[in-house]
Amino acid sequence: MRHGKWPKKSRAARRSEIVVKKTEIGTQLDDLAVTKYGEKFLLNQALTLIEFSGGSRNKDGSFGYLDSFGVVDSSKPRELYIQCRMIQVFGIAHLHGLRDNKEIIEDGINIILDLFQDKTHGGFYNSIDQQGNPVATNKLAYDHMFVLLAACTAKVVGASRADELLRIIDSLIDKYFWDPRFEMMNNSWNLQLDDLSSYRGINANMHAVEALAAAFDVTGDEKYRHRAFVISKKTAEDFARNNNWLLPEHFNQDWVMDKDFNIDNPADPFCPFGVTIGHLFEWSRLLMHVRLQIRDTEYDDGWIAPAATHLYDTARKYGWCADGTDGFVYTINWEKKPVVRSRMFWVAAEAVMTAYTLWEYSGETQYLRDYDYWWKYIDTYVIDKKNGSWFHELDPNQHVVGHTWPGKPDTYHAFNACILPLYPMGTSFIGTVLDARGK
C-alpha cells in the first residue's frame, strides 16, 4: 500500500525500485475497494478527456477555445496559457503511453515559437487572433510560467525545438519575472517590456512553483528547485499563516497585501476578490510536491506538511457547501462568507487531487472519504456524459452557467485529477514520468 509517511529516500533509490518498460498504472484504490472512483474509472475518464481535447487542435497546430460541444469557437482569440496547457495534457498522456501525441507536441511548440513569440521586443504574447496577430496588451508571468511547463514536458517527449524554447523562456524569466529582492515573481510588463506593473499576484507564483518543480526534474538545475521552495515558503508561512490560512492573492510592488483588490469585479477568472478556495487546495498539493523534491537536502521541510494540512482544512471548512448546497464556492471574503457562489470545475478537480495526496501521505481515512464524496459530486454534476469533458461552471443549484467560464476550453485540471492517483506520487507530473523511466 503506497499511503503512509513518505520514506527518506534519494531520487536514485526511488527510481531503482521501479522496473518497468513503460509507466504502469497502479491498482491501489480498486484493490482496496474503498471508492468507486479508483484506477479503472480514472483511466477511462482520462482517455475521454484526451479524446475531447483533440477537438481543440487547429489545422496549423495551435489550440483553440472549445465551446460546450467541443468545437473551436473561432470568435475567441487563441490563448497562450491554453496552448501550453494542451501541450502539457497531450504530453503527459503521451509519456504515460495513453496515446501517441508526438506530432501534436511538435506542432504545439512550433506555434509558441513562431506565432506567440514577440520577435521584436522579446517575450510571448498572451493571446493572438485567428490570423496570428497579437491582441495582447501586456506580457504576463502567468503565461510565461506555462511556457516553461510546456517546454519541459516537450523536452521529455523529444520535441525537436523544446530545448530552444526552454533556453528562451529561462532567459526571459531570469531577466523580467524573477525578483531576487523578494524571491517572488513579478506579475506583468507592457508589450515592450520596459514598464513593469506595480501589481504582484499569488496566482502567477503558484503556477511558477508548478513549472519550476518540473524544470528542476527535467534539467537538474538547482536554481529551479530553490525558487520553487522559497516561493512556497513565503506564500505559506508569511502570507497564509499570518492571515489564519486565508491566503491573500493580491499585493503591491512591495508585497503588501491589497485585501480590496477587485472588490468591484469579484468573479474575475484570474484575479478574483477575496480568498480563492481552489487555490488553497492547489497550494496544499504543490507544497507536498515541493516536500518530495527537497528530501535529503539541506532545505527545511518541517513546516510543509502542517501548512498543507491547514490550507486544506480551511478550504474544506469554508469552501464546501458554504451556502447550504453541495459544491465548492469560488471565493469567500475575509469574514469567511461566500462571495462568488459559482461552482468552478477546476476547484473540485484540485480538491480531489489534494485529498488523495494527503491521504497517500498520512493514511488518514478522512482524506479518502473526502476524495470519494467529492468525486461523487463531480461524477453526478460536473462531468458532461452527453457531450464530453466537464462543465466548467455551475450555479449553486447545479445548473450549468457560463458567467466566468463559458464553454469548455480547459481540460488541464480535470485531466490532472484523473492522472495523479494512477501513479506513485512524484515531485511533479513530469517527475512521475521520469521516476517511472528510471531517469
139-160 pLDDT, tens digit each: 999 999 999 999 999 999 999 9
For residues 221 and 213, give the distance between their C-alpha atoms in angstroms, rounded to a whole number.
Answer: 10
pLDDT per residue as tens digits for the range 342-397: 999 999 999 999 999 999 999 999 999 999 999 999 999 999 999 999 999 999 99
User: Would you say residue 19 has pLDDT above 80?
Assistant: no
| pLDDT the model gives residue 23 | 60
Give residue 14's pLDDT: 32
Using CA atoms, how far apart are residues 95 and 348, in angstroms rounded to an integer? 25
- Check pLDDT > 90 for residue 239: yes
pLDDT-based confidence at residue 209 (cuts at 50, 70, 90): very high
Q: Over the stretch 418-427, which tens digit does the pLDDT of each residue have? A: 999 999 999 9
Q: Is 178 helix (H, G, I), strand (E, B) or coil?
A: strand
Question: Is residue 12 very low, low, confident or very high in pLDDT (cuts 50, 70, 90)?
Answer: very low
User: Phi/psi at 249 (nearest 5 deg)?
Assistant: -110, -25
Q: Which of 254-258, 335-339, 432-436 shows the lowest per-residue confidence on average (mean pLDDT)?
A: 432-436
Q: Is the model's pLDDT at 244 over the cut of 60? A: yes
Q: What are the boundaries of each domain within the chain?
A: 11-437
Instruction: Tell me the CATH class for 11-437.
Output: mainly alpha
Position 439 scores a pLDDT of 64
Instruction: Return phi, psi of residue 100, to 5°.
Output: -80, 110
HEC secondary structure over 371-420? HHHHHHHHHHHHECCCCCCECCEECCCCCECCCCCCCCCCCHHHHHHHHH
pLDDT of res. 9: 36
**C-alpha to C-alpha distance for 296 and 277, rounded to whole angstroms:** 32
For residue 320, pLDDT beyond 70: yes
Q: Extract the C-alpha cell encoding 174.
A: 531570469
Average pLDDT score, the chain = 94
Residues with a known catalytic role: 279, 413
Q: Rounded to an integer, what distance in angstroms lies between the CA atom of residue 194 and that of residue 186?
A: 13
Largest Cα separation within the chain, whole Å, is 57
Q: Give the residue carrying C-alpha cell 526511488.
A: 14
Identify any residues that bridge with 344 across adjacent strands, giving them in sequence order.
Answer: 393
